[in-house]
Amino acid sequence: MSALICGSMAYDTIMVFHDKFKNHILPDKVHILNVSFLVPVMRREYGGCAGNIAYNLKLLGEDPYIMATVGHDFEPYAQWLCQCGISRDHIRILDDNYTGQAYITTDEDDNQITAFHPGAMNMSHLNEVPTDLPISIGIVSPDGKEGMQRHAEQFVEQGIPFIFDPGQGMPMFNGEDLIHFLDQATWVTLNDYESELMQERTGLSLEEIAEKVDALIVTLGANGSKIYTQEECIEIPAAKPKSINDPTGCGDAFRAGLLYGLINEMSWRVTGRIASLLGAIKIEHHGTQNHGFSMESFKARYKENFGSTF
Protein backbone atom coordinates (compact mmCIF):
# COMPACT_ATOMS: atom_id res chain seq x y z
CA MET A 1 0.00 0.00 0.00
CA SER A 2 1.18 3.50 -0.75
CA ALA A 3 0.43 7.21 -0.46
CA LEU A 4 -1.12 9.47 -3.09
CA ILE A 5 0.31 12.97 -2.81
CA CYS A 6 -1.85 15.70 -4.31
CA GLY A 7 -0.15 19.06 -4.60
CA SER A 8 2.07 21.41 -6.53
CA MET A 9 5.14 20.71 -8.64
CA ALA A 10 7.38 23.71 -9.23
CA TYR A 11 10.78 24.99 -10.19
CA ASP A 12 12.37 27.19 -7.53
CA THR A 13 14.74 29.82 -8.94
CA ILE A 14 16.69 31.09 -5.92
CA MET A 15 18.81 34.25 -6.12
CA VAL A 16 21.08 35.70 -3.44
CA PHE A 17 21.43 39.47 -3.01
CA HIS A 18 24.72 40.27 -1.26
CA ASP A 19 23.31 43.17 0.73
CA LYS A 20 20.21 43.98 2.74
CA PHE A 21 16.89 44.99 1.23
CA LYS A 22 16.44 47.63 3.94
CA ASN A 23 19.47 49.51 2.59
CA HIS A 24 17.73 49.98 -0.77
CA ILE A 25 14.06 50.37 0.08
CA LEU A 26 13.10 53.78 1.46
CA PRO A 27 10.12 53.41 3.83
CA ASP A 28 8.63 56.76 2.86
CA LYS A 29 8.83 55.92 -0.86
CA VAL A 30 7.16 52.50 -0.97
CA HIS A 31 4.20 54.00 -2.83
CA ILE A 32 6.54 54.63 -5.79
CA LEU A 33 8.74 51.58 -5.35
CA ASN A 34 11.10 50.91 -8.25
CA VAL A 35 14.14 48.88 -7.23
CA SER A 36 16.57 46.50 -8.89
CA PHE A 37 18.85 44.02 -7.11
CA LEU A 38 22.05 42.57 -8.56
CA VAL A 39 22.03 38.83 -7.80
CA PRO A 40 25.37 37.23 -8.79
CA VAL A 41 24.39 33.90 -7.19
CA MET A 42 21.47 31.96 -8.68
CA ARG A 43 20.42 28.34 -8.68
CA ARG A 44 17.42 26.41 -9.94
CA GLU A 45 15.94 23.71 -7.73
CA TYR A 46 13.20 21.13 -8.05
CA GLY A 47 10.37 21.95 -5.68
CA GLY A 48 6.65 22.12 -5.09
CA CYS A 49 4.92 20.55 -2.10
CA ALA A 50 4.01 17.27 -3.82
CA GLY A 51 7.50 16.80 -5.25
CA ASN A 52 9.18 17.58 -1.94
CA ILE A 53 6.93 15.29 0.10
CA ALA A 54 7.35 12.43 -2.36
CA TYR A 55 11.13 12.85 -2.41
CA ASN A 56 11.37 12.58 1.37
CA LEU A 57 8.95 9.66 1.56
CA LYS A 58 11.02 7.83 -1.05
CA LEU A 59 14.16 8.34 1.09
CA LEU A 60 12.34 6.45 3.85
CA GLY A 61 11.80 3.50 1.54
CA GLU A 62 8.18 4.09 0.49
CA ASP A 63 6.84 4.25 -3.08
CA PRO A 64 4.60 7.32 -3.24
CA TYR A 65 2.49 8.43 -6.17
CA ILE A 66 2.39 12.11 -7.15
CA MET A 67 -0.81 13.54 -8.64
CA ALA A 68 -0.22 16.97 -10.14
CA THR A 69 -0.50 19.11 -13.26
CA VAL A 70 2.65 20.49 -14.89
CA GLY A 71 3.64 22.39 -18.01
CA HIS A 72 5.54 21.87 -21.25
CA ASP A 73 8.84 22.66 -19.51
CA PHE A 74 8.61 19.71 -17.11
CA GLU A 75 11.07 17.34 -18.81
CA PRO A 76 14.15 18.10 -16.63
CA TYR A 77 12.04 17.54 -13.51
CA ALA A 78 10.62 14.35 -15.02
CA GLN A 79 14.13 13.02 -15.56
CA TRP A 80 14.98 13.84 -11.93
CA LEU A 81 11.95 11.90 -10.68
CA CYS A 82 12.98 8.97 -12.85
CA GLN A 83 16.48 9.12 -11.38
CA CYS A 84 14.95 9.08 -7.88
CA GLY A 85 12.68 6.15 -8.72
CA ILE A 86 9.47 8.15 -8.19
CA SER A 87 6.46 7.36 -10.38
CA ARG A 88 5.31 10.00 -12.89
CA ASP A 89 2.24 8.04 -14.02
CA HIS A 90 -0.28 10.43 -12.46
CA ILE A 91 1.42 13.70 -13.38
CA ARG A 92 -0.49 15.39 -16.20
CA ILE A 93 1.42 17.58 -18.67
CA LEU A 94 -0.47 20.58 -20.08
CA ASP A 95 1.33 21.79 -23.20
CA ASP A 96 -0.14 25.31 -23.12
CA ASN A 97 1.14 26.05 -19.60
CA TYR A 98 4.36 26.41 -17.66
CA THR A 99 5.10 24.30 -14.63
CA GLY A 100 4.69 26.31 -11.43
CA GLN A 101 7.58 28.74 -10.94
CA ALA A 102 8.84 30.41 -7.76
CA TYR A 103 11.36 33.23 -8.08
CA ILE A 104 12.94 33.86 -4.69
CA THR A 105 15.44 36.62 -3.88
CA THR A 106 17.11 36.36 -0.45
CA ASP A 107 19.19 39.06 1.23
CA GLU A 108 21.92 38.83 3.89
CA ASP A 109 19.32 38.98 6.68
CA ASP A 110 17.50 35.97 5.18
CA ASN A 111 14.59 38.20 4.17
CA GLN A 112 12.90 36.99 1.01
CA ILE A 113 10.99 38.54 -1.86
CA THR A 114 9.12 35.87 -3.81
CA ALA A 115 7.06 35.92 -6.97
CA PHE A 116 5.09 32.74 -7.74
CA HIS A 117 3.53 31.81 -11.06
CA PRO A 118 1.13 28.86 -10.57
CA GLY A 119 0.97 27.91 -14.23
CA ALA A 120 -0.44 24.43 -14.74
CA MET A 121 -1.11 24.08 -11.01
CA ASN A 122 -4.32 26.07 -11.50
CA MET A 123 -5.65 23.18 -13.57
CA SER A 124 -5.09 20.49 -10.94
CA HIS A 125 -8.82 19.76 -10.87
CA LEU A 126 -8.40 17.99 -14.22
CA ASN A 127 -6.85 15.10 -12.29
CA GLU A 128 -9.01 12.65 -10.36
CA VAL A 129 -7.97 10.38 -7.51
CA PRO A 130 -7.43 7.03 -9.30
CA THR A 131 -9.48 4.01 -8.35
CA ASP A 132 -7.02 1.40 -9.58
CA LEU A 133 -4.04 2.06 -7.27
CA PRO A 134 -3.16 0.36 -3.95
CA ILE A 135 -3.55 3.63 -2.03
CA SER A 136 -3.88 3.40 1.74
CA ILE A 137 -3.51 7.11 2.52
CA GLY A 138 -3.59 10.48 0.79
CA ILE A 139 -2.61 14.07 1.39
CA VAL A 140 -4.19 17.25 0.00
CA SER A 141 -1.38 19.80 0.03
CA PRO A 142 -1.25 23.29 -1.56
CA ASP A 143 -2.49 23.17 -5.14
CA GLY A 144 -5.13 24.82 -7.31
CA LYS A 145 -8.20 25.78 -5.25
CA GLU A 146 -10.72 23.67 -7.16
CA GLY A 147 -8.29 20.78 -7.29
CA MET A 148 -7.83 20.74 -3.51
CA GLN A 149 -11.60 20.73 -3.01
CA ARG A 150 -12.28 17.99 -5.54
CA HIS A 151 -9.48 15.74 -4.39
CA ALA A 152 -10.67 15.92 -0.78
CA GLU A 153 -14.15 14.91 -1.93
CA GLN A 154 -12.75 12.06 -4.03
CA PHE A 155 -10.72 10.68 -1.11
CA VAL A 156 -13.90 10.65 0.97
CA GLU A 157 -15.89 8.97 -1.79
CA GLN A 158 -13.28 6.21 -2.06
CA GLY A 159 -12.94 5.79 1.70
CA ILE A 160 -9.26 6.78 1.67
CA PRO A 161 -8.08 8.56 4.85
CA PHE A 162 -6.11 11.74 4.09
CA ILE A 163 -4.13 14.58 5.62
CA PHE A 164 -5.38 18.10 4.95
CA ASP A 165 -2.30 20.33 4.58
CA PRO A 166 -3.53 23.77 3.47
CA GLY A 167 -0.14 25.50 3.80
CA GLN A 168 0.31 28.48 1.49
CA GLY A 169 -3.06 27.65 -0.07
CA MET A 170 -5.03 28.64 3.04
CA PRO A 171 -5.70 32.25 1.94
CA MET A 172 -7.82 30.88 -0.93
CA PHE A 173 -10.43 29.52 1.48
CA ASN A 174 -12.94 31.18 3.79
CA GLY A 175 -14.04 29.83 7.14
CA GLU A 176 -16.87 27.76 5.68
CA ASP A 177 -14.52 26.16 3.15
CA LEU A 178 -12.00 25.28 5.85
CA ILE A 179 -14.61 23.76 8.15
CA HIS A 180 -15.78 21.58 5.24
CA PHE A 181 -12.19 20.36 4.77
CA LEU A 182 -11.98 19.60 8.51
CA ASP A 183 -15.21 17.59 8.30
CA GLN A 184 -13.74 15.53 5.45
CA ALA A 185 -10.12 15.06 6.57
CA THR A 186 -8.77 12.34 8.84
CA TRP A 187 -5.79 14.44 9.99
CA VAL A 188 -4.79 18.11 9.68
CA THR A 189 -1.28 19.57 9.76
CA LEU A 190 -0.42 23.27 10.15
CA ASN A 191 2.50 25.43 11.17
CA ASP A 192 2.08 27.86 14.06
CA TYR A 193 1.11 30.81 11.82
CA GLU A 194 -1.36 28.70 9.85
CA SER A 195 -2.90 27.42 13.07
CA GLU A 196 -3.63 31.01 14.13
CA LEU A 197 -5.15 31.78 10.75
CA MET A 198 -7.23 28.58 10.84
CA GLN A 199 -8.61 29.53 14.27
CA GLU A 200 -9.37 33.08 13.13
CA ARG A 201 -11.18 32.03 9.95
CA THR A 202 -13.16 29.10 11.39
CA GLY A 203 -13.83 30.51 14.85
CA LEU A 204 -12.66 27.17 16.28
CA SER A 205 -9.99 26.64 18.93
CA LEU A 206 -7.22 24.11 18.40
CA GLU A 207 -9.03 21.73 20.75
CA GLU A 208 -12.26 22.13 18.77
CA ILE A 209 -10.41 21.50 15.50
CA ALA A 210 -8.85 18.38 17.01
CA GLU A 211 -12.32 17.08 17.92
CA LYS A 212 -13.23 17.06 14.22
CA VAL A 213 -10.30 14.85 13.14
CA ASP A 214 -8.23 11.95 14.43
CA ALA A 215 -5.29 14.28 15.04
CA LEU A 216 -4.21 17.89 14.53
CA ILE A 217 -0.46 18.39 14.12
CA VAL A 218 0.98 21.89 14.66
CA THR A 219 4.66 22.52 13.95
CA LEU A 220 6.49 25.12 16.05
CA GLY A 221 9.85 25.46 14.29
CA ALA A 222 12.79 25.10 16.65
CA ASN A 223 10.31 24.38 19.48
CA GLY A 224 9.23 21.08 17.97
CA SER A 225 5.56 20.31 17.40
CA LYS A 226 2.34 19.43 19.16
CA ILE A 227 -0.02 16.65 18.20
CA TYR A 228 -3.58 17.15 19.41
CA THR A 229 -5.69 13.99 19.51
CA GLN A 230 -9.15 13.67 20.97
CA GLU A 231 -7.58 12.26 24.15
CA GLU A 232 -4.40 14.28 24.71
CA CYS A 233 -1.84 16.80 23.46
CA ILE A 234 1.50 15.18 22.71
CA GLU A 235 4.59 17.41 22.69
CA ILE A 236 7.26 16.38 20.17
CA PRO A 237 10.79 17.74 20.67
CA ALA A 238 12.74 19.20 17.78
CA ALA A 239 15.60 17.14 16.39
CA LYS A 240 18.97 18.90 16.30
CA PRO A 241 20.35 19.78 12.87
CA LYS A 242 24.11 19.60 12.37
CA SER A 243 23.95 22.97 10.61
CA ILE A 244 21.29 25.44 9.50
CA ASN A 245 21.56 26.28 5.81
CA ASP A 246 18.10 26.51 4.26
CA PRO A 247 14.69 26.13 5.94
CA THR A 248 12.82 25.97 2.62
CA GLY A 249 11.03 22.63 2.33
CA CYS A 250 11.34 21.63 6.00
CA GLY A 251 7.57 21.55 6.37
CA ASP A 252 7.25 19.20 3.41
CA ALA A 253 9.91 16.90 4.86
CA PHE A 254 8.00 16.89 8.16
CA ARG A 255 4.79 15.91 6.38
CA ALA A 256 6.55 13.02 4.66
CA GLY A 257 7.50 11.79 8.12
CA LEU A 258 3.86 11.94 9.19
CA LEU A 259 2.82 9.90 6.17
CA TYR A 260 5.54 7.33 6.87
CA GLY A 261 4.41 6.86 10.46
CA LEU A 262 0.76 6.58 9.48
CA ILE A 263 1.46 4.09 6.66
CA ASN A 264 3.42 1.91 9.07
CA GLU A 265 0.88 2.29 11.92
CA MET A 266 3.38 3.82 14.34
CA SER A 267 2.45 5.69 17.51
CA TRP A 268 2.12 9.48 17.38
CA ARG A 269 5.17 9.86 19.62
CA VAL A 270 7.32 7.92 17.15
CA THR A 271 5.68 9.42 14.06
CA GLY A 272 6.23 12.96 15.32
CA ARG A 273 9.89 12.28 16.07
CA ILE A 274 10.49 10.76 12.62
CA ALA A 275 8.91 13.86 11.06
CA SER A 276 11.01 16.14 13.28
CA LEU A 277 14.25 14.40 12.27
CA LEU A 278 13.39 14.59 8.56
CA GLY A 279 12.92 18.34 8.90
CA ALA A 280 16.26 18.70 10.69
CA ILE A 281 18.09 16.76 7.97
CA LYS A 282 16.51 18.92 5.27
CA ILE A 283 17.51 22.18 6.96
CA GLU A 284 21.18 21.15 6.71
CA HIS A 285 21.07 21.34 2.90
CA HIS A 286 20.34 24.03 0.34
CA GLY A 287 17.32 23.30 -1.80
CA THR A 288 14.42 20.99 -1.06
CA GLN A 289 15.58 17.78 -2.74
CA ASN A 290 19.36 17.70 -2.30
CA HIS A 291 19.65 15.72 0.94
CA GLY A 292 19.96 11.97 1.28
CA PHE A 293 20.58 9.23 3.83
CA SER A 294 20.42 5.50 4.40
CA MET A 295 17.80 4.06 6.74
CA GLU A 296 20.65 2.78 8.91
CA SER A 297 22.05 6.30 9.37
CA PHE A 298 18.54 7.73 9.85
CA LYS A 299 17.81 5.27 12.65
CA ALA A 300 21.18 6.06 14.25
CA ARG A 301 20.37 9.79 14.26
CA TYR A 302 16.92 9.05 15.64
CA LYS A 303 18.48 7.20 18.59
CA GLU A 304 21.07 9.97 19.03
CA ASN A 305 18.34 12.63 19.21
CA PHE A 306 15.62 10.81 21.12
CA GLY A 307 17.41 8.05 23.07
CA SER A 308 15.44 5.17 21.58
CA THR A 309 14.84 3.29 18.33
CA PHE A 310 11.78 2.81 16.17
Average pLDDT value for residue range 184-201:
96
Q: What is the pLDDT of residue 142?
A: 96
Range with the largest mean pLDDT of 58-67, 103-112, 241-250: 58-67
Q: What is the pLDDT of residue 182?
A: 98
Q: What is the pLDDT of residues 259-281, one digit of tens each?
A: 999 999 999 999 999 999 999 99
- The Cα–Cα gap between 288 and 282 comes to 7
Average pLDDT value for residue range 194-203:
97
Where are the strands (E) in 28-173, listed by range? 41-47, 65-71, 91-94, 100-106, 112-117, 135-140, 162-164
Q: 30-37 long-range contacts, Cβ below 8 Å, gap at least 24?
A: 37/105
Q: What is the pLDDT of residue 114?
A: 87
* pLDDT over threshold 80, residue 110: no
* pLDDT over threshold 80, residue 57: yes
Average pLDDT value for residue range 65-88:
98
pTM to 2 decimal places: 0.94
Q: What DSSP letter does each residue of 208-252 carry, written as one string?
A: HHHHHSSEEEEE-GGG-EEEEESS-EEEEPPPPPS-----TTHHH
Helix (H) or strand (E) run with residue 156 in it: helix 145-157
Q: What is the pLDDT of residues 283-302, one digit of tens each?
A: 999 999 999 999 999 999 99
At 92, the pLDDT band (50, 70, 90 cuts) reads: very high
Q: What is the pLDDT of residue 211?
A: 96
At 27, the pLDDT band (50, 70, 90 cuts) reads: confident
Average pLDDT of the chain is: 95
Q: What is the pLDDT of residue 183?
A: 98
